[in-house]
Structure 1
Amino acid sequence: MATAAIPADSLQAPHWEWQYLDLMRRIWEHGDKRIDRTGVGTRAVFGAQIRFDLAGGAMPLITTKRVYWKTAVREFLWFLTGETNIRPLVLQGVKIWNEWPHANYVKATGEAIALDDFVARIAEDAAFAARWGDLGPVYGKQWVDWPTYEPAGEGLFRAGPGINQVAQVVHSLRTNPGSRRHIVEGWNVAELDQMALPPCHKTYQFGVTDGRLNCLLYQRSCDVALGLPFNLIGAALFTHMLAQQCDLAPGELVWMGGDTHLYLNHADLVEAQLARTPQGSARLELQRRPGSICEYRFEDFVMHDYAPQAPLSAPVAV
């Protein structure tokens, strides 16, 4: 990947975040202009890569704008529960999934309710949330409860036990670290139409090298300005947690993007961020080692030395 934005007189190894900024610049200046599913329009490239060393608790937090890592932790822990309703997130003040159920409610009922009012109803009314806050079988549902079916006789089938892919990966890393099958997959073709949004960060593969746990995340579709900073955090959290659970050291995170894009209405954010210079680095400390990967609590995650520049905002395309 080109690194033209790196100062020519730099005497130190370039900050990892130049990979992110150079990708952003490449897309904005040379990407293919498209009309996308949302109707907003994008500039996009196909195929991109970012690499980051997680050794010593390092975390790939963007420093050229503030990224709300606590939100990313809460979302990731929500994935591990297999939950698909936004209410647990709403009650924690996490807003990143609110637009999809809101849009569905407005379309289904014709009621022009404001987003904030809809979210307030989700928080206050459990029955309303049960009906209108569900996202379908997204992410965590596939990760920890992938559906199976078994013969019921006379050509019929019934639901079988769900497959916990995360638990399987923990077991395989502990018992067969050299395997090439340490994979967590979210792309369940049979259930895509039931999902509010088909999985973007769809495939996680883990590999062990000299006692270090590496992660490769393939993302089919990536909103570089708003989504990618959170996707990097999520993959890093996943790796740090698995490494701790399996008595391994964190290794390298390799992120790969398919359709990698910037929305046309993110121009102000992109131009402001490209004018900034990365600085500093963050480090994660896990406060305890719970009995299983599904038993981590938000309080277990402490972030050190994260001193980002001012926030930059842009609208979410739904």
Structure 2
Amino acid sequence: MATRAQPSGDSAPPHYEWQYLNLMRRIWEQGDERVDRTGVGTRSIFGAELRFALSDGQVPLLTTKRVYWKTATREFLWFLTGETNIRPLCAQGVEIWTDWPLARYRRESGEEISRDAFSARIVAEPDFAARWGDLGPVYGKQWVDWPVYQPQPDGSYRKAPQGINQVAALVESLRTNPGSRRHIVEGWNVAELDAMALPPCHKTYQFHVADGRLSCLLYQRSCDVALGLPFNLWGGALFTHMLAQQCDLEPGELVWMGGDVHLYLNHAELVAAQLARRPEGSPRLAIGRRPDSVFGYRIEDFTITGYAPQGALSAPVAV
């Protein structure tokens, strides 16, 4: 699979992005056509793996289309706050999550408000945001405040005022017990799935330390290869670089594994355009400072060099 889409006659090592393009081609040409939750329809395969080196600041940013890495970074930093309301994202112009509460608002209010107008109200009106902007206990809530229930004398259980901060515990375990096989951040809280606007797709992050290098295995139960995966690869790489800095380690490798890996049928034009392009370049990430904790990073701390992507490719998001 790794060489199928790559032009013959290349003497240099294959560009890291060919893995992604070969996966896209395989799904589009060989995937099982399925009716999915959204009603749009997909072509899907089950089980896939990609591997990317992260040493020397390397990051798996796609070059055959522009990946808006600052938008993805703002989303990731938002996850680390444990916030579940889209208001902080909308205030930064990040609309990744707006479609889900917008769909609920339209359905329950009957008002066909535009996304721009809805987002503006979320930012301008705190009460409106509190009612309509919350996503339920999605990613960040599980990462930094996994709920804990304490037994009471009468046999009942009461929710503890503070849950488990998995990310803080991960940093501590990487620092004090690097050889552990329990360096995991998990988002799949079975008891709370029905309360989430969207159950976690990139659900499990496991980390591994060897020879002073930190590697990450990211398991994704469901993956929109055209729109979601470019952000997910960036997020996994960014998380690894941040943790490595915090734990005095060097970044090693990002291993991505997907369960239901799919392309939406209405993404045909994007797929054709992207498969006609050739990857090039080697972007690098630099982190400008080391904050006191993994929760202290800001968007201005991150710089990308050597990234000259080809033009943006867009397609509709299936909600």
TM-score, normalized by length of structure 1? 0.99
CA-CA distance at 1:123 after TM superposition: 1.4
What's the counterpart of residue 234 of structure 1?
235
Identical-pair percentage: 73
> Helix, strand or coil for the counterpart of 1:66?
coil
Output the CA distance in 2 between the equivalents of 1:16 and 1:279.
9
Cα distance per residue 1:40-61 (max 9 Å; x no partner): 0000000011100000111110
Matched, 1:259 2:226: no
Output the CA distance in 2 between the equivalents of 1:196 and 1:226.
18
What's the counterpart of residue 174 of structure 2?
173
Output the CA distance in 2 between the equivalents of 1:276 and 1:299.
31
Output the CA distance in 2 between the equivalents of 1:2 and 1:43.
20
Cα distance per residue 1:174-200 (max 9 Å; x no partner): 000000000000000000000000000
Cα distance per residue 1:137-167 (max 9 Å; x no partner): 0000000000000012212111113000000
Output the CA distance in 1 between the equivalents of 2:120 and 2:168.
35
> Helix, strand or coil for the counterpart of 1:153?
coil
Alignment of 1:100-139 (within 5 A): 100-139=100-139
> Helix, strand or coil for the counterpart of 2:152?
strand
Cα distance per residue 1:42-84 (max 9 Å; x no partner): 0000001110000011111000000100001100000000000
> Helix, strand or coil for the counterpart of 1:205?
strand
Q: CA RMSD in A?
A: 0.7
Output the CA distance in 2 between the equivalents of 1:270 and 1:170.
38
Structure 1 residue runs without a partner (length 5+) = none
CA-CA distance at 1:3 after TM superposition: 2.1
CA-CA distance at 1:2 after TM superposition: 3.9
> Matched residue pairs, number?
318
Output the CA distance in 2 between the equivalents of 1:213 and 1:48.
22
What's the counterpart of residue 88 of structure 2?
88
Amino acid at match of 1:270: V
Amino acid at match of 1:311: A
Matched, 1:66 2:99: no
Amino acid at match of 1:86: I
Output the CA distance in 1 between the equivalents of 2:2 and 2:64.
19
Matched, 1:56 2:87: no
Structure 2 residue runs without a partner (length 5+) = none
Matched, 1:44 2:66: no
Matched, 1:268 2:269: yes
Q: Which moved more, 1:212-221 or 1:117-126?
A: 117-126
Output the CA distance in 2 between the equivalents of 1:45 and 1:164.
34
Amino acid at match of 1:253: L
Output the CA distance in 1 between the equivalents of 2:35 and 2:117.
31
> Helix, strand or coil for the counterpart of 2:46?
strand
